[in-house]
């Protein structure tokens, strides 16, 4: 499949092509999820600046997901009006992205994580270049990956590792020194699958 690198085309294809929610369990069909489980709401931006996507590397001292590649965002607080407000607030806190510099383009289906979050990804255009300021307690690095790479379904492969006594399969998208995997890779792969030709 050929990658899409034009945001307008991406948004048009998202409007034409419905999608189901995704999950960290998509590649692990033998996992039985309990009915009535409680998921905490969260939201992330997929921020596109020109022809590149802004990603972060989480600080290595964090209790959850240390050193992992992530989209800017986090849990939805009671003070947030909605998922978009939470994603914008978190992106401002984590990388210094001014919400007025962001055009929200599309809400994607929620993604369930193994850590019991229901994450709403939001595709967004960053209007102008800005100086990223990583929140030092949470973000080790802010970097950019080509949109054409992330929107190419062939950029992703499936790997596996032992987790809690069983083999778990997950998507990865290595690029340069960065190893994107887990929820971030699954969210981006879902988007790539929807917009690719």
- DSSP conformation letters of 76-126: PPTT-SSHHHHHHHHHHHHH---GGGEEEEEEPPPEE-TTSEEEEEEEEEE
Selection from 93, 92, 94, 91 nearest residue 139 by Cα:
94
Q: What is the CATH number of the domain that holds 105?
A: 3.90.79.10
Residue 30 lies in a domain: no
pLDDT range class, residue 8, cuts 50, 70, 90? very high
Predicted pLDDT at 58: 80
C-alpha to C-alpha distance for 108 and 167, rounded to whole angstroms: 28
Average pLDDT over residues 86-95: 97
Selection from 63, 34, 48 nearest residue 6 by Cα:
48
pLDDT range class, residue 2, cuts 50, 70, 90? low
Inform me whether the pLDDT recorded for 143 exceeds 90: yes
Predicted pLDDT at 26: 85
* Of 34 and 83, the one with more pLDDT: 83
Q: How many domains are contained in the chain?
A: 1
Predicted pLDDT at 1: 55
Inform me whether the pLDDT recorded for 138 exceeds 60: yes
Average pLDDT, the chain: 90
pTM of the model: 0.92
Strand 102-107, strand 111-112: pairing? unpaired
Residue 1 lies in a domain: no
Predicted pLDDT at 31: 73
- DSSP, collapsed to helix, strand or coil, labels residue 5 as coil
* Of 136 and 30, the one with more pLDDT: 136
Residue 133 lies in a domain: yes
Average pLDDT over residues 15-25: 89
Q: What percent of the chain has pLDDT over 70?
A: 91
Predicted pLDDT at 3: 59
Selection from 59, 36, 44 nearest residue 138 by Cα:
59
What is the signed CA dihedral for 70, 74, 75, 78, rounded to 10 degrees? -170
pLDDT range class, residue 185, cuts 50, 70, 90? very high
Predicted pLDDT at 101: 98
Average pLDDT over residues 84-89: 98
Predicted pLDDT at 170: 92
- Domain that includes residue 116, residue range: 7-23+39-195
């Amino acid at each position: 499949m050929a990658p899409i690198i034009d945001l307008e085309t991406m948004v048009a294809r998202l409007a034409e092509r419905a999608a189901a929610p995704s999950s960290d369990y998509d590649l692990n069909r033998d996992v039985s999820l309990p009915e009535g489980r409680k998921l905490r709401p969260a939201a992330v931006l997929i921020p596109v600046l020109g022809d590149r996507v802004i990603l972060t590397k989480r600080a290595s001292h964090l209790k959850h997901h240390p050193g992992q590649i992530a989209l800017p965002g986090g849990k939805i607080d009671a003070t947030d009006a909605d998922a978009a407000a939470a994603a914008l607030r978190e992106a401002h806190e984590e990388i210094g992205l001014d919400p007025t510099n962001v055009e929200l383009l599309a809400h994607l289906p929620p993604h369930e994580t193994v850590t019991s979050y229901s994450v709403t990804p939001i595709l967004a255009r960053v209007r102008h270049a800005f100086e990223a300021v990583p929140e030092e307690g949470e973000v080790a690095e802010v970097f950019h990956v080509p949109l054409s790479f992330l929107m190419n379904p062939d950029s992703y492969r499936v790997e596996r590792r032992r987790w809690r006594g069983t083999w778990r399969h997950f998507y990865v998208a290595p690029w340069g020194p960065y190893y994107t995997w887990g929820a971030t890779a699954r969210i981006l792969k879902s988007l790539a699958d929807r917009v690719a030709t």
